[in-house]
Amino acid sequence: MDQGGVTPPRRRLLTLAAAGAVLAAAGCAPGKPQSPIDMGPAEDLMREHGVLRRLTLIYREAAALVRANFSSVDGRPIWRAADLIRRFGEAYHEQLEETHVFPQAMKAGGAAVALVPILIAQHARGKQITAFIQSKTSAGAIAGADAGALVGALETFARMQEAHAAYEDTVVIPAWRASLSKQALADAGAQFDDIEKTMFKGDGVAQALAEVAAIETALRLQGLARYTAPAPGEAAAGILPAPETNEGAD
């Protein structure tokens, strides 16, 4: 909607239903209903990074499972995680960055100039790793001959993605945002929103989060509490997902 000739900033409206679904996937009660959240394009890019961080966590935990006992691991949820990275991360989020964010950040100068070529190279390497992971997990059963290479691919992708998103969130995206006028930022937000709606026929982040939650459940990785670190001096439980139990069952 045009207000006084100025295009409003992009608005991602998280409905109460979507917010409740995300909280439920995290093992939390919705609590008091909250108002929809309005986000600008920079904040929304960082929210998309949150989806990719959840997938990176799945990769790390899946690598530990495969290393411990590859024959007991169903590769299909791992394949689904890689496919979501391909569809949401590579075809949408990374394309958005390379087309609209990186060129402007380069023009702005500063530290982003040296980082952008590395980020683009990492996008390309990520695509190679995604294809490899899918090729080794599509059958469901993981072959013993593939287990070591699969663990390496999952862990090195996770390591790269963690650093990648951290540098984007702290250097590149802030530089891009600071270089735009209020109107240009609003126009970028509207453009990003149109691209997302065209690709996903709605809220792509909400759809991706629903898929992430389903993958976490399939691998028994759901719930934030399971990642709580032990107190100093106490024995760590390890990084493997906890065995399936009836705790909390009705």
Across 70-155, the runs of DSSP E, i.e. the strands, are: none
CA angle 159, 76, 14 (to 5 degrees): 70
Distance CA 126, CA 139 (A): 21
pLDDT of 24 reads 47
Taking 50 as the threshold, does the pLDDT of residue 22 lie above it? no
Rounded to whole angstroms, the Cα distance separating 213 from 127 reads: 23
- Average confidence (pLDDT) over 223-242: 76
pLDDT digits (tens, 9 = 90+) for 121-138: 999 999 999 999 999 999
* pLDDT (0 to 100) of residue 205: 95
Q: Please state the pTM of the whole predicted model.
A: 0.80
Q: Cβ(89)–Cβ(52) under 8 Å?
A: yes
Q: How confident is the model at residue 240 (pLDDT cuts 50, 70, 90)?
A: low
**Residue 235: predicted pLDDT:** 79
**Topology of the domain comprising 16-26+38-222:** Four Helix Bundle (Hemerythrin (Met), subunit A) (1.20.120)
Give the chain's mean pLDDT: 85
Closest-CA residue to 60 (of 228, 243, 227, 232):
227
Residue 21 pLDDT > 80: no
Are the C-beta atoms of 189 and 40 separated by less than 8 Å? yes
Q: Give the model's pLDDT for residue 250.
A: 44
148 backbone φψ class: left, alpha, beta (φ>0; ψ -120 to 50): alpha
- Mean pLDDT across the stretch 81-109? 97
Closest by Cα among 73, 75, 56, 12 to 227: 56
How is residue 233 annotated by DSSP? T
Distances (CA, A) of 95 to 15, 40, 74, 86, 98: 26, 18, 31, 11, 5
How does pLDDT run across 194-204, given as a tens digit for each residue? 999 999 999 99
Contact by Cβ (8 Å): 62, 76: no
Residues 6+ apart with CB under 8 A from 150: 63, 66, 70, 133, 136, 137, 142
